[in-house]
Amino acid sequence: MGGEQSIPAFSRGVRLRRVDDSRTVLLVPEGIVNLNAPAAATLSLLDGARTCDDIAAALSARFSSEPAAIAADVRELIGRLAAKGWVVLRTASR
Amino acid sequence: MTHQALSLLAELTYRCNLQCPYCYNPLDLRAYADELAEDDWLRVIDQAAALGVLQIHFSGGEPTLRADLLVALVRRARQRELYSNLITQGTFLDDALLGKLVAAGLDHVQISVQGAHAPLADAIAGTAVHERKVAALARVLQTGLAVTLNCVLHRANIDEVADIIALAEQLGIRRLELANAQLYGWAFRNRAGLLPSREQVAAAAETVASAQARLRERMEIVYVLADYYERYPKPCMHGWGQRFMTVAPDGRVLPCPAAAAIAQLSFENVRDRSLADIWEHSRSFNAYRGMSWMPEPCRSCDRRAIDFGGCRCQAFLLTGDARATDPACTLSPHHALIEHAIADPGAATGAERLVPRRA
Ligand code: SF4
Ligand code: SF4
């Protein structure tokens, strides 16, 4: 789940909503999920084109933190959302 | 606790072509005949978005009975970045309406069935619609729209919960809500006939739990408990006036969809005042906000920030005082009212037959 070659995208019925500078939420069927800053930064990079690795690379460039740790966090988050059905993964063809 | 409006239930009409005896709509349906016009509703959506509301649920009654209005409101909700959810029984969801709703930006639809099989489901709905609903469901799923299938459970259908889950599986539903009937409005009127027995509730809970484990990756099953059989009450509305508001078909703004029954309160109307004003300053929204209104045993209870003392509407319906601890709580001094009702469900009020909802 969330392997380096997979491309995550939000499922139908799931929307990321930036409420203001300090608050981003995930709007899901009949619910609202509050996101912490790292999760919000990660999910704002989901565009159905970037792979999990692309997202991790963009984040470690932005926050200049250790790439391997970020990649693990991204995969963990995406995997959790995929298990919930809020994110779908497709395999990158490259 | 700081209150922040996040979710608005827009009840477009209380009219409905079905007659479910578990309907939580009020008994005096005719009192709501003077329905808000499109301009009023558009203003409500604009004001809700400005107030910070993030999700809007279009419901009723049957909201697709006002199809043109519904499409216009979904479109406006999308423009205001609100997540829109349609709660419908599906009998009018033809391809034309579905297409318009999807184009307008609808995010999610919740469709209800009355049971797993036609004879019983049709008897509960009061008209032969089950097959038509299942066909509508299949069409909705084909559009790719996010769908929740809902079934309200009660004495007459709770034993077939396994079949309801099987129907959802067959259709390829990703999210299933199995909700024990909440006893307000017509459902309260029909309480004696709707309340399941303790054995029925226990068996259903077991069936649901094993299905949840078995289907974990394929289907989310949301199970709404029968609060009459629980130890503590439900955290109703996440606290009065904290997150939710309802706009009734006639424009009255309610802290809970069942609140109009509370005779101790009167409710402001969006025709006269802004949503923000009502949310922040009305007597009704402030009546049970926070915790300072609480009587004992809630006032000194550890769980008061978890369940907020339960449901004000249920407290009123059962005790005549909306401030009372929800009698569903085993710590309530009025809990005997619940014990009496469940001691012999079906005979508690002597009402043997279910009364179909009607105007
Ligand atoms: S519960 Fe039944 S009668 Fe009530 S609005 Fe829904 S479908 Fe109509
Ligand atoms: S006494 Fe009040 S706060 Fe405590 S569990 Fe019961 S309802 Fe909740």
Q: Please state the ipTM of this predicted complex.
A: 0.90
- Cβ pair A30:B148 closer than 8 A: yes
Chain B nearest CA to A13, separation (Å): 5
Note the pLDDT tens digit of each residue in B136-154. 999 999 999 999 999 999 9
Structure tokens given for B221: 């099953």
Distance from the B82 Cα atom to the nearest Cα atom in chain A, whole angstroms: 9
Tell me the count of A-B CB pairs closer than 8 A.
44
Ligand 2 mutation target, pool B291, B307, B313, B334, most atoms within 8 A of CB? B307
Interchain pair A32, B55: CB under 8 A: yes
Q: Tell me, yes or no, if B57 comes closer than 8 A to chain A by beta carbon.
A: yes
* pLDDT given at position A43: 97
What pLDDT is attached to residue A92? 78
**Within 10 A of A21 (CB to CB), how many other CB atoms are there?**
6
Report, at the CATH architecture level, how domain A6-85 is classified.
Orthogonal Bundle (1.10)
Is the shortest distance between the CB of B307 and ligand 2 below 6 Å?
yes
Q: For the segment B94-112, what is each residue's pLDDT rounded down to a tens digit?
A: 999 999 999 999 999 999 9
Selected for mutation to probe chain B from A11, A18, A20, A27 (highest B CB count within 10 Å) is A27
Using a CB–CB cutoff of 8 Å, tell me whether A48 touches chain B: no
Which pTM does this prediction carry?
0.94
Question: What's the CA gap between B134 and B140, in Å, rounded?
Answer: 10
pLDDT tens for residues B11-53?
A: 999 999 999 999 999 998 988 999 999 999 999 999 999 999 9
pLDDT at A66: 82
Judged on CB neighbours under 10 Å (0-12, 13-18, 19+), B337 is middle
CB < 8 Å to A32, chain B: 6-7, 54-55
Of the partner residues B7, B85, B145, the one whose CB lies closest to the CB of residue A12: B145
Cβ of B62 below 6 Å from ligand 1: yes
Quick one: pLDDT at residue A1?
Answer: 46
Instruction: Give the residue extent of every domain in chain A.
Output: 6-85
Report the C-alpha gap between B110 and A29 in whole angstroms: 9
Q: Residue A88: list chain B partners with CB under 8 A.
A: none
With H, G, I as helix, E, B as strand and everything else as coil, classify residue A46. coil
Distance, CA of B261 to CA of B314 (rounded, Å): 10
Q: Is the CB of B175 less than 8 angstroms away from the CB of A85?
A: yes
pLDDT at B347: 56
State whether the beta carbon of B298 lies less than 6 angstroms from ligand 2: yes
Ligand nearest to the CA of B302: 2
Of B52, B7, B27, nearest in space to B276 by CA: B52
- Separation of CA B9 and ligand 2 centre (Å): 26
Instruction: Decide if B126 contacts B20 (C-beta within 8 A).
Output: yes
- With the most atoms of ligand 2 within 8 angstroms of its CB, the residue from B329, B330, B334, B337 to mutate is B329
Q: Is A82 on the interface with B (CB under 8 A)?
A: no
In this complex, the residue of B6, B81, B146 whose CB is nearest that of residue A12 is B146
Q: At residue A94, does pLDDT exceed 80? A: no
Q: Is B175 on the interface with A (CB under 8 A)?
A: yes
Question: Which ranges constitute the DSSP H helices of A1-94?
Answer: 37-43, 52-63, 67-83
pLDDT, tens only, B215-262: 988 999 999 999 999 999 999 999 999 999 999 999 999 999 999 999
Nearest CA in chain B to A80: B217
Per-residue confidence at A3, pLDDT binned at 50, 70, 90? very low
Q: For B64-85, what is the mean pLDDT?
A: 98
Residues 6+ apart with CB under 8 A from A72: none
Q: What spacing in Å lies between the alpha carbon of B79 and ligand 1's midpoint?
A: 29
User: Quick one: CA dihedral B177, B179, B184, B190, positive or negative?
Assistant: positive
Three-state SS across A60-86? HHHHCCCHHHHHHHHHHHHHHHHHCCC
Closest chain B C-alpha to A26 CA, distance in angstroms: 10
Answer whether A14 touches B (CB < 8 Å): yes
Residue B179 has pLDDT above 90, yes or no: yes
Q: Is B49 in the pocket of ligand 1 (CB under 6 A)?
A: no
